[in-house]
Amino acid sequence: MTVTSKKPDVVVTRKLPEPIEVRMMELFRPRLNTDDHRFTEAELIDAVRTADVLVPTVTDRVDAAVLREAGPRLKLIANFGTGVNHIDLKAAAERGITVTNTPGVLTEDTADLTMALILAAPRRIGEGERLLRAGKWEGWGPTFLLGHRIAGQRLGIIGMGRIGQAVARRALGFGLTVHYHNRKRVPEATEEELQASYWEDLDQMIAHMDILSVNCPLTEQTRGMLSAARLGRLQRHAVIVNTARGEIVDEDALCDLLEKRLIGGAGLDVFQNAPRVNPRLLKLENVVLTPHMGSATTAGRVAMGEKVIINIKSFADGNAPPDRVIAGVTT
């Protein structure tokens, strides 16, 4: 982007926290989504044709077809979010468009929700809450809604990045033993801090865990990684928690296991075809469902917006943005 005194035209596809929108109005010429509707493909195409910067979110599919319509002014896609699997990075690079994201600011919030699901699913908290609200609770009983104690259980973490490590730290406080599978083994000092055991073979780890937590990014290598065969290796009492991406897990295979009570339960914050949720999941009592709210704290969303602003400002000033995912033409 050529450095000029002109404020860049920025299209923001969803409503952002008020402090972020106010700051954007001070620094840029933003077109804001005041009613927070989900952009259609036509609206995305109009945006990339006319903007200097596009600020999409996970709800926007910025694919090759959209990017083919991009005007010559579009040189930056400043994603509001960490994951960028909804953006065609190859097509962006071919058109000289830089893509940035907002890493690091959602770690603690996502780890908190992961831990909440690790607690909620074995203790059948979702079932209890629904039963009480339905007016069906008849009082305490010795065998009423018996769940599983998590202290002393084995937690297997798939993906030992920032979020996986934050989950591990929380798990230690609840008396869980930490195991993990990762693309690369973490440093020895990290393993010692987290008292974590590394499993090179994912299949073997899955077969020995009481709770499995999915915390890896969605890539071509992880898409469908938890297949029917792999899920079938879970122990009958095991619980699976997914706060990463729904496409990592074979959802129909998971439903089969849950319906037949071949595993203990599940806690899911993400879904294969979000925002549509598999109707089979909605009918099940042994699964806790939350609507992709892992990062849903005010502090987290403001921090995401601040990163977006820094990336845009750096780029507009002719500097490399700090959170570049791929490099386009920056001059």
Contact yes or no for 241/266 (Cβ under 8 A): yes
pLDDT in tens, 223-263: 999 999 999 999 999 999 999 999 999 999 999 999 999 99
Same domain, 253 and 302: no
Kindly state whether residues 132 and 200 are assigned to the same domain. yes
The domain in which residue 321 lies consists of: 9-105+297-326
Q: Is residue 52 part of a domain?
A: yes
Residue 255 within any structural domain of the chain: yes
Phi, psi (5° rounding) for residue 274? -55, 145
Same domain membership, residue 270 and residue 131: yes
**Domain count of the chain?**
2
For the segment 43-96, what is each residue's pLDDT rounded down to a tens digit? 999 999 999 999 999 999 999 999 999 999 999 999 999 989 999 999 999 999
Percentage of residues in the chain having pLDDT higher than 90: 96
Residue 212 contacts residue 158 (beta carbons within 8 Å)? yes
**Do 188 and 218 reside in the same domain of the chain?**
yes
Helix (H, G, I), strand (E, B) or coil at 98: strand
Residue 281 lies in a domain: yes
Looking at residue 6, its pLDDT comes to 85
309 plus 262 within the same structural domain: no
Q: Given pLDDT bands bounded at 50, 70 and 90, which one contains residue 5?
A: low
Task: Specify if 331 maps to a domain.
Answer: no
330 — pLDDT class (breaks 50, 70, 90): very low
Percent of the residues in the chain that have a pLDDT greater than 70, as a whole number: 97
Is the model's pLDDT at 329 over the cut of 70?
Answer: no
Query: Which residue, 75, 79, 82, is CA-closest to 60?
Result: 79
Q: What is the CATH number of the domain that holds 74?
A: 3.40.50.720
* Count of CB atoms situated within 10 Å of the CB of 218: 18
Both 163 and 280 in one domain: the answer is: yes
Q: Tell me, yes or no, whether 117 and 253 share the same domain.
A: yes
105-135 burial code (b ≥16 CB/10 A, e <16): bbbbbbbbbbbbbbbbbbbbbbbeeebeeee
175 domain residue, yes or no:
yes
In a domain, 4, yes or no: no
pLDDT band at 326; cut points 50, 70, 90: low
Judged against a pLDDT cut of 70, whether residue 1 lies above it is answered with: no
Taking a C-beta distance cutoff of 8 angstroms, is the pair 214, 241 a contact?
yes
Does 167 share its domain with 86?
no
pTM of the model: 0.90
Does residue 3 lie in a domain region? no
Which sign, positive or negative, has the C-alpha torsion 116, 119, 121, 125? Answer: negative
Residues 114 and 100 occupy one common structural domain = no
Say whether pLDDT at 3 is over 70. no
Q: In angstroms, rounded to a whole number, what is the distance separating the alpha carbons of residues 258 and 265?
A: 6
Judge if 112 and 99 occupy the same domain.
Answer: no
User: In this structure, are 77 and 152 located in the same domain?
Assistant: no
Within a domain: 78:
yes
Are residues 117 and 261 both part of a single domain?
A: yes
